Amino acid sequence: MKPSRDIASLLDIMAALRTPVTGCPWDLEQSFSTIAPYTLEEAYEVVDAIERGDIADLRDELGDLLLQVAFHARMAQEAGHFDFGGVVEAITTKLIRRHPHVFTNARDLSPAEVKALWGRIKAQEKLDRAQARREAGAPEEPPVGALAGAPLALPALTRAVKLQEKASKVGFDWNDPRAVLAKLREETAEIEGALAAGDSEGVKGEVGDLLFVVANLARHLSVDPEAALRGANAKFERRFAHIEARLGQQGRHPSEASLEEMDALWDEAKLGEREQA
């Protein structure tokens, strides 16, 4: 085997890794469920490379993510379900079907018209799937509610936004971000009440409610809460590193400093960032 730009080489390598006896013992014992966490991890690493602006790393991480697709497709092929070509066919079919304004004569549509068209196409796809199940003699899919289609595997903040978007489509939503801010204050008051009552389980539930409302506020302000939190994490790491560095110059560790000292160094880091902005 040699490195190659041809997707066929990746599929050949994946097949070799999964070949009994001569393949890789670790790869051979994997299943869809055991590989799924790695698939999620690789997707996050792609996002991380983008956030850091590291294009070379992005290339590598996209390769790792592509490997996950090849891995799942190979396992499906071995089980007689579908192969990598089927995956490609499925997505190309979907893209062509959902973009008639690009691939047919339905051109010159506004973004709003494209969104409405997308909704109609997806609704028709649902009807077509139901018809195909009936023709195949498969049991009818159970009716789904307005919140269906928000995968449990999504990060909690992202899934919260998905659920809120779906509820909004049927009118269950605030129409003003200030109403969400009022709800935020209400939730903090409820946390205070649970703390005063010594209700640890109640505190846990109220903190969850608070985070859900924060995600809702982000949605109303057109802010991606996951991206915002990643930014806050990076800021915290950067400023805490400044605290460690300044204390290190004195031959000290953060555990040897008072909270007041560290707060002062935090403010110093914050001021430095403002001056550099």
pLDDT in tens, the chain (277 residues): 788 999 999 999 999 999 999 999 999 999 999 999 899 999 999 998 998 899 999 999 999 999 999 999 999 999 999 999 999 999 999 999 888 888 887 777 888 888 888 888 888 888 888 888 888 887 777 667 888 888 888 889 999 999 999 999 899 999 999 999 999 999 999 999 999 999 999 999 999 999 999 999 999 999 999 989 999 999 999 999 999 999 999 999 999 999 999 999 999 999 999 988 7
The total domain count for the chain is 3
> Using CA atoms, how far apart are residues 59 and 67, in angstroms rounded to an integer?
12
174 in the same domain as 112: no
238 in the same domain as 177: no
114 in the same domain as 69: yes
Burial classification of residue 150, based on how many CB atoms lie within 10 Å of its CB (0-12 exposed, 13-18 middle, 19 or more buried): middle
114 in the same domain as 26: yes
185 in the same domain as 253: no
3-state secondary structure labels for all residues of the chain: CCCCCCHHHHHHHHHHHCCCCCCCHHHHCCCHHHHHHHHHHHHHHHHHHHHHCCHHHHHHHHHHHHHHHHHHHHHHHHCCCCCHHHHHHHHHHHHHHHCHHHHCCCCCCCHHHHHHHHHHHHHHHHHHHHHHHHHCCCCCCCCCCCCCCCCCCCCHHHHHHHHHHHHHHCCCCCCCHHHHHHHHHHHHHHHHHHHHCCCHHHHHHHHHHHHHHHHHHHHHCCCCHHHHHHHHHHHHHHHHHHHHHHHHHCCCCHHHCCHHHHHHHHHHHHHHHHHHC
263 in the same domain as 162: no
25 in the same domain as 114: yes
* Parent domain of 50: 7-135
CA dihedral in degrees (225, 38, 205, 212; nearest 10)?
A: 20
CA dihedral in degrees (227, 232, 233, 234; nearest 10)?
A: 90
Within a domain: 140 = no
188 in the same domain as 101: no
CB 7 within 8 A of CB 74: no
| Domain end marker among 67, 101, 135 | 135
pLDDT of res. 126: 82
